Amino acid sequence: MKLSKLKVEGTYLKDEAGNYVQLRGVSTLGLHYPEYITKESFQTFRDEWGANVIRLAVYTHEAGGYCTDGNREEQNELIIKGVEAAAELSMYVIIDWHVLREKTPLRYKDEAIRFFDTMAERFGSYTNVIYEICNEPQESPFGEVIRPYAEEIIPVIRKHSKDSVIIVGTNNWSQDVDEVIDQKCSDPNVMYALHFYAATHKDELIQKAQKALDGNVPVFISECSICEASGNGSIDYETGRKWIDFADRNHISYVVWNLSNRDESSSLLRAGTISKSHWKDEEYSDTAKWFKKEMYSKKDK
């Protein structure tokens, strides 16, 4: 089934018929766990969680990164495999250029241009693909660094895909989404990333997100969890509840970090889990159990 094209209207994501769309799903941990980038894994999230989007995080600077010592050919093949699997399952998919330790998206701008030119040419006709062009910039003021970068990358995508949704990261690990007010990119089909980790990011960041919405900034929570910002540590269910209620009230999409079996709070699978799909309850982490219940309660809505 061909998925509806998505479009940005005001602060909302909508389908071709003008209905509100809220995407809910999970993000891979880079491309370091290829065993989970499969149709069977994605189908588990679709059918047993109620998820409708998968985020393929492409680390750029880390060990094994796309722009360091990673095997680009293998990573490109994994991305293609993931996009095709999602398309077969009528799920949306985010191709995420995972700016992180390099801080500024300018570090690998030329590589980003080539990457998105390749990906948009390959998937230009796909209605399920969303492009996230810089995950978590730091020390990069939106107006001075991120917006000029985005204004170079977006036309590269538009050469091949005139109306796909594009997500632009914001400064300070995609927390300063209010910086975008009165500085939005010229392209109208763009949303702006906000990331939260509930045990660290509490009411102050929710207020910042509300300020952005009030300033007509379309927000997309392209990464989140209920643990600490390190991806580990304690879980804060109460603040997690506040965040999801805020997202639901405002039709904001959200993607949960991360699909792996690492021994940390944000991993959706418990350390030592061998299964690659259709996981049993005891194979899920506490974080996964909470989000699974949350997403499934909204399945098909």
Looking at the annotation, which residues are catalytic? 136, 223
| Residue found by looking up tokens 């996230």 in the block | 132
Among 229, 172, 221, residue whose Cα is nearest residue 198: 229
For residue 14, list its beta bridge partners: 7, 20
Nearest to 206 by CA among 170, 231, 179, 178: 178
Distance CA(289)–CA(269), nearest Å, equals 10
- Tokens 């997500």, residue? 167
Q: How far apart are CA 47 and CA 62, in angstroms?
A: 33
Instruction: Let me know: does 156 contact 116? Beta carbons within 8 Å.
Output: yes
Strands 254-259 and 24-28: parallel
Other Cβ atoms less than 10 A from the Cβ of 62: the count is 17
